[in-house]
Structure 1
Amino acid sequence: MSAIHQTEFVPYSPEQMFGLVADVDAYPSFLPWCVGASQVAYGEDRVRATLKVAKGKIGYTFTTDNVLALGKRIEMRLANGPFKRLHGTWRFDPMPTGCRVTLDMEFEFTNRLVAAALSPLFKAMTSQLVASFRHRAQAIYG
C-alpha cells in the first residue's frame, strides 16, 4: 500500500479552498492530467465523482464516493476503478491569515501488473495536488 501526505498553508479561507476541491467538474480546466470529470450529488453531503486521467498513452478512469463536511473536510472512498483500495481525506483547517490544506491518501492497485503500468502516473498526479489547488486559488482569488 502506498501513502501520500501533503500539507500547505494558503492565504485563502477554508471555505474558498473547500469550494475549489469540491468543484470536480472544473478539474480538466486546470489539472493537466485530468482529461474528464463528472460528479453526481446524492444527498446533501455526498457526491459520486468520476475522473478520467491520462498522460501520453497511459490513462484510466476511477470513481469515488465522497462525503463532504462543508468548509472543513472531504473524505473519498473508492467506488470503482483500477484500485484494490483508495481512501483519501482533504482537510481545511482555519489559520489566522488563511488555512492549512492537508491531503492524506492511501492506495493500492488491483495487482502488480496494473501497479507497474499506472502507479507512476498516479504518483505524479497526486504528488502536486495541494500545490495545484493553491495555484488555482491564486488564479481565481488573486
Structure 2
Amino acid sequence: MPRFTKTLRVPYGPPQCFALVSDIARYPDFIKWITALRVSEVRAAGPGVIECLGEAVVGFKGFTERFTTRVVADEPARRVTASLVRGPFRKLFAEWRITESVHGASDVSLEINYEFRNPIIGFLAAANHDLAVDRILNAFLEEAQRRYSAPKA
C-alpha cells in the first residue's frame, strides 16, 4: 500500500492551521481537483472532537471518482484524520498533524496511506503521489495566506 508523509513549516499558529485543515466543506474552494464535497452526520465525539462524513467528488485529467470518508477533527490533539467508508479505494487513511514550531509558526504534516481497487488508477496515482501531496500542501498554504493574510515579518 503506498504511503507517504510530507511536512511543511508555515508562518501561522496551530489554531489557525487546525481551523483550516478541519474545514473540509471548503476544500473545493482551494483544491482544484475536489469538485464537490458534502459534509453530513456531524457530531461531537468528545471534548474538542468533531466527527463527520465527507462525501467528495474528485476530477483529474478525465477521471471522476466519488468517495466517502469518516473525518475526525481532534482539536486538543491538533489532528485531523480521514478513513475510508466507501469509494474506489481498497484502503485509504489520511492524517494531518499540526505541531507548534518556532516564533509562532507551525509544522503541518500530511500522511496518506492508500490503495486503489483499479490497478491502472493505482499505477497513475503512485507515479504522481509526490506531486499531488506537494500540490495539496501548497493549496493549503495559499488558502492560509488568503484567510489570514501574509504574516508580519
The TM-score normalised by the length of structure 2 is 0.82
1:133 is matched with 140
Aligned pairs (5 A) from 1:59-70: 59-70=64-75
1:39 is matched with 39
Moved over 4 A (4+): none
Equivalent residues of 1:55, 1:121 under 8 A apart: no
Q: Which whole-Å CA distance do the structure 1 matches of 2:99 and 2:89 have between them?
A: 29
Equivalent residues of 1:33, 1:125 under 8 A apart: no
Q: Which has the larger radius of gyration?
A: 2
Equivalent residues of 1:4, 1:127 under 8 A apart: no
Unaligned segments of structure 2, at least 5 residues: 45-49
Task: Name the amino acid aligned to 1:63.
Answer: T
Unaligned segments of structure 1, at least 5 residues: none
Deviation at 1:41, TM superposition (A): 4.1
Q: Which whole-Å CA distance do the structure 1 matches of 2:16 and 2:110 have between them?
A: 16
1:119 is matched with 125
Q: Which whole-Å CA distance do the structure 2 matches of 1:89 and 1:131 have between them?
A: 17
Q: Which whole-Å CA distance do the structure 1 matches of 2:69 and 2:40 have between them?
A: 11
Structure 2 counterpart SS, 1:115? helix
Q: What is the CA deviation profile of residues 63-100 of structure 1, one whole-angstrom value per residue up to 9, with x for unaligned ones?
A: 11011111600111101110000011100101232110
2:14 is matched with 14
Q: Which whole-Å CA distance do the structure 2 matches of 1:130 and 1:2 have between them?
A: 18
Deviation at 1:7, TM superposition (A): 0.2
The alpha-carbon distance between structure 1 residues 140 and 121, as it changes in their structure 2 partners (threshold 3 A), is farther
Matched, 1:57 2:65: no
1:73 is matched with 79
The TM-score normalised by the length of structure 1 is 0.88
The alpha-carbon distance between structure 1 residues 87 and 36, as it changes in their structure 2 partners (threshold 3 A), is same
